[in-house]
């Protein structure tokens, strides 16, 4: 039996999650292309990618394991690369439009783009650039901390959910969203081989909303207070704040037609806080590094959608203002 052709996978944005994804996929037979810029691209090209799983478990993938594309060259230029089958969008929310442009140039004619970013609306933006049939929805509960330009810690083992993208108008969705074609099956197989625990979902809209609810409950509080995730679980006041923020999001999700069990989401919140207790969430990492955060795609989206639906979201609005204030 003929072996399937080698899958070429591009990781666009090599931060915490992007670095984890690249390092784990480097353990498979896939060809890996990394798109980064400046100091990150230089470190990857010289010294490869380091992944720390625990004090005693570390891996180092040499630079020649990857093809590096540095986007910090002459404005308006692109570096050529052999077309890829899958482009994972792992950059910050503010970079989604530019990363969609790179994905459009890198993907082969039948390739997919898949966002693993926090927040809402990223897949819709990708669909506008690529077409809904070329976009998969994605979400991850893995915890990853960026330690340096080419160094990542796998701070919490979660899973990757993925499935067909459902545009707001519902067009472009397969008749049976549970069906996978051969390319999706191969991608799921590779993610499984990489130990990233993929789960193919038939209702990714609900999955992404559930991830958003966890993000709005955890990330802003951790960033404002400067604490790791576990500190929220052990503080009565912070945990109550997290639950209240989540409850506002549940009301907005339900108004948009998403079925959400609030009690189960509170249980999942506490499970995730326990599983990622030592993790510095991405928003805290951004605040500490003086980088823009994704607060607008999280609490900002909840507040805007709540206002449009006539649903008060004072907790989310307050967290949005506080995190934005930190950055100024």
Report residue 3's pLDDT band, with 50, 70 and 90 as the boundaries: low
pTM value is: 0.86
Strand order in the sheet with 198-200: 66-70, 31-36, 8-12, 84-89, 107-115, 135-140, 160-164, 198-200
Domain residue extents for the chain? 8-202, 206-326
d(CA 256, CA 251): 9
Q: Which of 93-107, 121-135, 176-190, 240-254 is least confident?
A: 176-190
d(CA 244, CA 240): 6
Task: State whether the Cα torsion 219-58-160-260 is positive or negative.
Answer: negative
> What's the whole-number mean pLDDT along residues 255-272?
94
Task: State whether the Cα torsion 105-111-115-121 is positive or negative.
Answer: positive
According to the model, what pLDDT value does residue 169 have?
A: 61
> What's the whole-number mean pLDDT along residues 14-23?
95
> What's the whole-number mean pLDDT along residues 107-117?
93
The predicted-structure confidence for 195-237, as pLDDT tens digits, reads as follows 999 999 988 989 999 999 999 999 999 999 999 999 999 999 9
Task: For residue 54, give the DSSP letter.
Answer: S
| % of the chain exceeding 70 in pLDDT | 92
Q: Report strand pairing: 31-36 vs 66-70.
A: parallel
Task: For residue 77, give the DSSP letter.
Answer: -
CB-CB contact of 163 with 205 (8 Å):
no
30: Cα within 13 Å, side-chain hemisphere: 30
Element (H, E) at 109: strand 107-115
According to the model, what pLDDT value does residue 168 have?
A: 66
User: What's the mean pLDDT when you consider all of the chain?
Assistant: 90
The predicted-structure confidence for 137-155, as pLDDT tens digits, reads as follows 999 988 888 899 999 999 8
The CATH number given to 8-202 is: 3.40.50.720
pLDDT at 74 over 50: no
d(CA 217, CA 298): 10
Q: Kindly list the distances between the CA atom of residue 206 and the CA atoms of 110, 143, 227, 254, in Å, as whole numbers in the listed order.
A: 26, 20, 29, 10
The predicted-structure confidence for 159-171, as pLDDT tens digits, reads as follows 999 999 977 665 5
Token pair in block for residue 134: 């070329």
According to the model, what pLDDT value does residue 75 have?
A: 40
Beta bridge partners of 151: 50, 148
Residue carrying the six token digits 């052990």 = 234
87 versus 179: the higher-pLDDT residue is 87
Looking at domain 206-326, its CATH class is: mainly alpha
d(CA 263, CA 70): 45
């Amino acid at each position: 039996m003929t072996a399937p052709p080698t899958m070429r996978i591009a990781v666009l944005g090599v931060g915490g999650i992007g670095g984890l994804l690249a390092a784990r996929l480097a353990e498979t037979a896939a060809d890996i292309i990394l798109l980064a810029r400046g100091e990150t691209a230089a470190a990857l090209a010289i010294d490869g990618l380091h992944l720390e799983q625990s004090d005693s478990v570390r891996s180092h993938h040499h630079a020649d394991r990857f093809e590096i594309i540095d986007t910090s060259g002459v404005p308006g230029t692109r570096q050529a690369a052999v077309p890829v089958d899958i482009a994972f969008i792992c950059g910050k929310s503010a970079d989604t439009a530019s990363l969609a442009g790179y994905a459009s140039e890198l993907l082969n004619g039948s390739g997919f783009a898949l966002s693993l970013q926090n927040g809402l609306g990223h897949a819709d933006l990708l669909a506008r650039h690529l077409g809904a049939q070329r976009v998969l929805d994605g979400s991850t509960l893995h915890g990853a901390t960026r330690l340096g330009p080419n160094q990542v810690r796998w701070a919490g083992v979660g899973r990757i959910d993925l499935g067909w993208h459902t545009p707001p108008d519902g067009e472009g969705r397969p008749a049976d969203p549970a069906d996978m074609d051969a390319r999706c099956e191969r991608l799921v197989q590779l993610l499984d081989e990489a130990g990233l625990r993929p789960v193919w979902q038939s209702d990714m809209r609900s999955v992404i909303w559930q991830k958003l609810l966890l993000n709005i409950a955890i990330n802003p509080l951790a960033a404002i207070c400067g604490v790791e995730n576990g500190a929220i679980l052990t503080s009565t006041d912070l945990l109550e704040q997290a639950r209240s923020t989540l409850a506002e999001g549940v009301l907005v999700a339900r108004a948009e037609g998403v079925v959400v069990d609030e009690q189960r989401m509170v249980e999942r919140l506490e499970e995730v806080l326990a599983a990622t207790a030592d993790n510095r969430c991405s928003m805290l990492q951004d605040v500490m590094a003086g980088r823009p955060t994704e607060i607008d795609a999280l609490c900002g989206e909840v507040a805007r959608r709540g206002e449009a639906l006539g649903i008060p979201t004072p907790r989310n609005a307050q967290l949005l203002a506080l995190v934005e204030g930190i950055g100024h």
